[in-house]
Structure 1
Amino acid sequence: MKKISWLLIVIMILSITPSYGNEIPYTSANGQAAIVMETETGRVLFEKNSRERMPMASTTKIMTALLAIENVDSEKFVKVAPEAQGIEGSSIYLRANERVKMVDLLYGLMLRSGNDSATAIAIEVAGSVEKFAELMTLRAKELGANDTSFMNPHGLHHDDHYTTAYDLALITKEALKKPLFKKIVSTKFYVAESRDAEFKYFSNKNKILNTVEGGDGVKTGFTKKSGRCLVASATRGDMQLIAITLNDGDWFNTTHKLLDDSFELFMPHTVFEKGEVIGVAKLNEGKRDEVNALVDSKIVLPVREEEKDRIQTVIDMPENMEAPILKGQKLGKVSVYLEDQLLATSDLIAEEGIERLTMKDKLLRFLRIQ
């Protein structure tokens, strides 16, 4: 079936320069590396040394939580392995053979930064810390985080345990797609009902929740080798941004400023609404000759005001299709670019079902023509 690509002259946005985010002063980023990324499109709004490999301390636990959520029922009771008791650093004071719900381990991991919780999760998911670290690195590669290597689930220093600000943003972007993860990291206080009273109360250490407008997470981290590391996120209106700073003594002020500057400079711009008609598919042998193609998901891009006049929108759909067509059937896709950078795609689906002509229908058509 022949296919065509239509370049719609619905051009609304222009890409920013390759050195993303020059409009945000570098004085906003006091750390060794930093990045601001929008969560839906992955568009980088600002970066500083974002591809430099660095230790990331307890921000490691973002990946630990992601793998736990993807692989274990959050309501499952986990028997704490003896190896998880007494891990150095931050702790929720797990005891060997204690039975704790996975969801409570996750809150202990992200709110209290429990290294023992990270270890218990790793052993539950993969059978050992070593195998879990391999899974972490593999999952990172699947997300495009190719400059990341995990050696443990908690972030205690190891020379071969590292990431980049860019990779960490990709991992966080994926984790924020999980409703449970979003709920956990935005929670200020939590009671772990499956634990004894003495160790069931967790308070969130992340000041972003209280100091930044729309602040909704994500994770702090610190070791002597890594310095202070912070992954922060905030949502305002239809746009959520991730701001990361690594090895930064002024970590909260840095991410606060980066988020405020980014929200001031960039705005969510709706390119297509869900259900919007943007094309027509021609049909062969159908009771109707064509069917409208609808955008299956809303497309919103983070843009500056001056970028709203040059977006490149490409529709890829067969020139002709064979009936029958079901309502909601995929007909093609639409891709949205900022110059040569692909930022968003959506399936195109049929607005209605179109039946195939029967022999009787063809005969009646023939008789009407005569």
Structure 2
Amino acid sequence: MKKVFKIIIALVLILAVAVVGIKVIGGNNLKKLDYHSKNIYVYDRTNEKELLSIKADERVYPASLVKIMTTLVAVENISDLSEIAPVDVETYKRMNSSNASMAGFYGRERVTYRDLLYGTMLASGGEAANSLAINISGSVDKYVEMMNDKAKELELKNTAYKNPEGLDVEGQYSSAKDIAMIVNSALNNNDFRAVFTKKSYTTTKTLDHPSGIVLKSTVLSKLDEYEQDGFEVLGGKSGTTLEAGECWATLSKKGENEYIIVVMGSELDNIKDLHYYQVEDTLNILNNIK
């Protein structure tokens, strides 16, 4: 009878974990923490091991985490990062009128592909992301096809793109796990890794900006306000909309291991009143990884 009772208890515990969507590998204590983010995925890149999965396959708005794929497709299709790639006027106007985040470039400004890459990743510039798309493929629609083709190549089951900047539109979605897998693959590209882990970058001098534009990572610059004890956040991408909440995808190092942490969906009521819960969750995870 006792044996039957133990089996029943074990089955109940397994079901409870499945219901809340939590999957923990390796006996770590990450599942015991309290999180603001609804969707979380933690991946030990060094040992190729999943550490934590909380609703990580749920399809959600990715906000500007879309720009991770935008950047990956770009670096795989640019032969010379120093080549001139002017800022597209029409998409500049559209991004400006849509209240998208902007890197600070002007329409027709004669910047380089490298400038647009850093403008997309560090400053999360909508005009930079769309200008990459048009300079590389000739149209935004064609570029989005390339992004979706890359998603298929990576065998992502819960990702679909509608634009390169990440503004919320119906039919555009991703998941915490898919985004982690995009980052994991992209980091094998040296150009991507350089952009993803850069804290600040000064763009090429132009007639519009004679001294260039100083672009700062929305992730690494924010971490100046926080203590990092025993680990280091090497780089990352932020994303924030009312629908998506506050989102982060980061690469960190603790000990000899590299970790990819994706946190998404912390609630947000006012886009001008940020809580930075994604920062809190990321650092909480890093402090507790054993």
1:72-91 pair list within 5 angstroms? 72=78, 73-86=80-93, 87=95, 88=98, 89-91=100-102
Normalising by structure 1, we get a TM-score of 0.63
Aligned partner of 1:20 among 15, 19, 24 = 24
Corresponding position: 1:35 with 2:24: no
Q: Are 2:66 and 1:60 equivalent residues in the alignment?
A: yes
Partner residue, 1:363: none
1:131 partner letter: K
- Kindly report which structure 2 residues correspond to 1:143-154, keeping only aligned pairs within 5 A, or say none: 143-154=154-165
- The answer as to whether partners of 2:24 and 2:31 remain within 8 angstroms in 1 is no
Which consecutive unaligned segments of at least 5 residues does structure 1 have?
A: 1-17, 265-370
Which structure dedicates a bigger proportion of its chain to strand? Answer: 1
2:261 is the counterpart of 1:254: no
Q: Secondary structure at the match of 2:33?
A: helix
Distance in 1, matches of 2:34 and 2:184, equals: 22
**Residue identity opposite 1:81 in structure 2:** D
Q: Within 1, Cα distance between the matches of 2:238 and 2:159?
A: 18
Q: 1:240 is aligned with what amino acid?
A: E
Q: Is the 8 A contact 2:104 2:213 kept in 1?
A: no
Q: Do the aligned residues in 1 keep the contact of 2:67 with 2:166 (CA within 8 Å)?
A: yes
Q: What's the offset of the Cα at 1:79?
A: 2.3
Match of 2:119 among 108, 127, 130: 108
On the 8 A contact 2:158/2:174 being kept in 1, the answer is yes
Size of the aligned set, in residue pairs, is 246
Paired residue type of 2:213: K
Deviation of the 1:198 alpha carbon: 6.2
**Contact 2:31 2:52 (C-alpha < 8 Å) held by counterparts:** no
2-structure distance, mates of 1:40, 1:135:
29
Give percent identity, aligned residues only. Answer: 28
Contact 2:115 2:203 in 1 (8 A): yes
Matched, 1:203 2:213: no
Contact 1:104 1:194 in 2 (8 A): no
In structure 2, the residue matched to 1:245 is: 263
Task: For 2:153 and 2:32, locate their aligned partners in 1 and report how far apart those are by CA, in whole Å.
Answer: 31
The question of whether the paired residues in 1 share the 8 Å contact of 2:120 and 2:129 is answered with yes
SS in 1 for 2:194: helix
User: What displacement does 1:209 show?
Assistant: 5.0
Offset at 1:19?
3.1
Instruction: Point out the structure with the larger helix share.
Output: 2
Q: Distance in 2 between matches of 1:99 and 1:71?
A: 19
Alignment of 1:316-355 (within 5 A): none
Letter in 2 for 1:136: M
* SS of alignment partner, residue 47 of structure 1: strand
Q: Secondary structure at the match of 1:93?
A: coil
User: Are residues 41 and 132 of structure 1, via their aligned partners in 2, closer, same or farther at CA, if it must alter by over 3 Å?
Assistant: farther
Q: Match for 2:245 among 197, 211, 227?
A: 227
Q: Answer yes or no: is the 8 Å Cα contact 1:112–1:204 preserved in 2.
A: yes
| Match in the other structure for 2:185 | 174
Instruction: Give the drift of 1:28.
Output: 4.1
3-state SS of paired residue (1:19): strand
CA RMSD of aligned residues (A): 1.9
Is the Cα contact below 8 Å between 1:188 and 1:209 reproduced in 2?
no
For structure 2, the 5+ residue unaligned runs are 1-21, 268-276
Structure 1 residue 204: Cα displacement: 1.6
